[in-house]
Amino acid sequence: MSRKNERLVNLTIALLATKRYLTKNEIFRNIEGYEGSAEAKERMFERDKDDLRKLGIQIEVGGLDPLFDDEAGYRIRPESYALSLRDLTPTQVTLLSLAAQAWQDAAFTDLSQQALRKLTSIGLDTDTSQLPVMAPKLVGADENLRGALDALTSLTTIEFDYLNIQGVAQKRQLQVYGVQARKSHWYLIGLDTEKNAIRIFRVDRIQGEVVSIGKSQSYLIPPSFEIAELEPAIETPLAVLQVRPGAGYQLRRMATTVETADDWDLLEMPIFDLDFITSLVLWHGEDVIVSSPPQLRGAVKSALEKLVKIHG
Amino acid sequence: MAKKDPGLARTARLLDLVPYLTTHQGIAIADLAKTFNTTVKEITDDLNTLWMCGLPGYTPLELIDLEFESGFVSIRNAETLAAPRALDRAEALSVFMGLDLLSAELSNSNESLTSEIANLQDQLRTQLISAPQVQIEASLNSEFRALILRAIRRRGWLEITYHSAANDQVTKRNVAPYELSQSGSHEYLQGYCSSAKSIRNFRADRIVDVIEIADQGWPNNQVVENEDAIRYEVKVHAASRQVLEVLPQVAANSSTATIQGFSAPWISRAILSLAGQVEALTPKELRAAIHARAKAALENYH
């Protein structure tokens, strides 16, 4: 194990230091650790290249001489190997460190620690004088969040059982395009490959484990894809609610307009989700009346009739 | 993935040790092990391995020169590996998401910082081939968080404007905060509330305003958590996802459940919001309260 590690480090150093492409023969002749038959060396080198690539190191393959299409050569460009965040100010280093520390005890702890070590290796001092006291924290130690983030990182399709609105688990396949933390929940956004449409899934509604299917790098995130554009557009229907003065704090925060009056204030708010608004109106009991649309008014009325009936 | 292969993780650590040592000359082996989240023995093995590495030729002129017998590590002749490695895709994503949270917490309060963050995010995005979309919402803005953390440290007092969903009211309370903690998917501020004369939990995302106030004095007698538990029984008419999420104590395949709650207004509102999918059986006061509220609400429509 240690011999192999040594060889990989030596290979990295040699490929980084060279100004031109090194041929396999040069590599085998000069770099310590390549031993055995020609075939054995060949196999060793193939595995080593794979391993370095798995570590995110880009090995460039190129011809020795454009005039003679002979043996391929290899090198690692220092600019692709090294951290490219350059000319960082102490404030920026602090921001990056804070960002990496936000994952403490959450899904990405190990990765953000690695990132933090690389950032501190720059050797720049941090400067907190420009910053307010901050200790941002990303919450979410859920194994499935980690699984989904790994899939997003490696561009691997995932499969999971998802609790639908009726409370029944259904198998779904997803190419994750992005993540969102909203109202204290994590959401995955991506292409539902069976429905061939963009869908949003709440991570804590996944039953059991997230499983990778197929290979990594099996899809690309469309460059035109924007989470922000998934936000409901202006055509969202509006609800008109009558709300008792002093009541309905949450409804007022969501409202686009509030008209105050003596008995009832008049609120207008977008209906992003009919079920959600129905529940929210019911939560406020006799302090809220739905004026329109009829669909929402009907849903609330029939829910109230049912509540009265079963509790009578 | 690379992280799951211990051999490769070791190679990564060997490569990352060089730039770290280059900027932290003279670091104690024990500290180095701590930074790299491993043991002194492992790190010593790493140093012994690195000591055998270098440029082809592998004479002392080409080998990495390490000194660590004293228990403190210094490195020389390692220029080729001296630059920190680029962040891999996963590391870049983790930092990117953390920056998104920072920016959300700062919201509009500090434009020069949020634009610095945007600039860093742009730099990271160019490194992410097929860049993922990230959107993080903060449960607490940085200004409130800073005030709360300072009060916890100084054992100071705050006036907190809080929205209670159960009572549908926004009230001001004097609170001596103990800690910010996570429970389930929410963040809570726990503290002694002088209005309630007991320890209370406040959901961070329902805190409307925070200001520092003068010391209110701590209570003389022992503080107890005195929220009275209410046991209630429900019948489940439809075990929908919403029911399972609002009342997690309900089992997916059972028709009744006995649940422990703490706030009568919260329980009746929660059952109202479930639109008849769940029926309150006992206590009868709860059942009557729900009936009365639903009836009063329905009368609004006549």
pLDDT at residue A141, rounded to an integer = 66
Cβ within 8 Å, pair A181-B101 = yes
**Listed residues A230, A264, A292: the one ending a domain:** A230
Q: Give the pLDDT band (50/70/90) at residue A14.
A: very high
Measured between alpha carbons, how far is A43 from A52 in angstroms, rounded to an integer?
14
The 10s digit of each residue's pLDDT in A258-274 is 998 888 999 999 888 88
Complex-level ipTM beyond the 0.85 threshold: no
Query: Which residues span the domain enclosing A152?
Result: 143-230
| Domain at B142-213, CATH class | mainly beta
Distance from the Cα of B195 to chain A's closest Cα (Å) equals 21
Distance from the Cα of A184 to chain B's closest Cα (Å) equals 6
Residue A206 near chain B (CB below 8 Å): no
**Listed residues A202, A230, A258: the one ending a domain:** A230
A1 Cβ partners below 8 Å, 6+ apart? Answer: B7, B10
Cβ within 8 Å, pair A82-B85 = yes
Q: Is the pLDDT of residue B210 over 60?
A: yes
Of the CATH numbers 2.40.50, 1.10.10, 1.10.3120, 1.10.3470, which one belongs to the domain with range B2-81? 1.10.10
A168 Cβ partners below 8 Å, 6+ apart? Answer: none
Residue A102 belongs to a domain: no
Domains in chain B: boundaries: 2-81, 89-127, 142-213, 230-299
The 10s digit of each residue's pLDDT in B267-289 is 999 999 999 999 999 999 999 99
Give the CATH number, domain containing residue A36.
1.10.10
| DSSP structure class, residue B129 | S
pLDDT at residue B227, rounded to an integer = 58
In sequence order, the β-bridge partners of residue B108 are none
Give CA angle at B67 (B64, B70), nearest 5°: 165
Distance from the Cα of A250 to chain B's closest Cα (Å) equals 8
Cβ within 8 Å, pair B98-A103 = yes
Instruction: Find the CB nearest A139 among B134, B187, B243.
Output: B187
The 10s digit of each residue's pLDDT in A33-92 is 898 899 999 999 999 999 999 888 999 998 656 666 567 899 999 999 998 876 788 888
Closest by CA to B210, choosing from B266, B136, B156, is: B156
Instruction: Find the CB nearest B90 among A13, A82, A153.
Output: A153
Q: Is the pLDDT of residue B127 over 60?
A: yes
Residues in chain B: 302
Nearest chain B Cα to A287, which residue?
Answer: B297
Residue A248 near chain B (CB below 8 Å): yes
Sign of CA dihedral B79, B82, B87, B91: positive
Residues 49-88, chain A, touching B (beta carbon < 8 A)? 51, 54-57, 78, 80-85
Task: Give CA A192 to chain center in angstroms.
Answer: 16
Nearest chain B Cα to A290, which residue?
Answer: B301
Residue A131 belongs to a domain: no
Q: Are residues A225 and A184 in the same domain?
A: yes
Q: Are residues A264 and A226 in the same domain?
A: no
pLDDT at residue B3, rounded to an integer = 46
Residue A156 near chain B (CB below 8 Å): no
Give me the number of domains chain A comprises. Answer: 3
* Over residues A187-196, mean pLDDT: 93
Q: Is the pLDDT of residue B132 over 90?
A: no
Give the CATH number, domain containing residue A183.
2.30.30
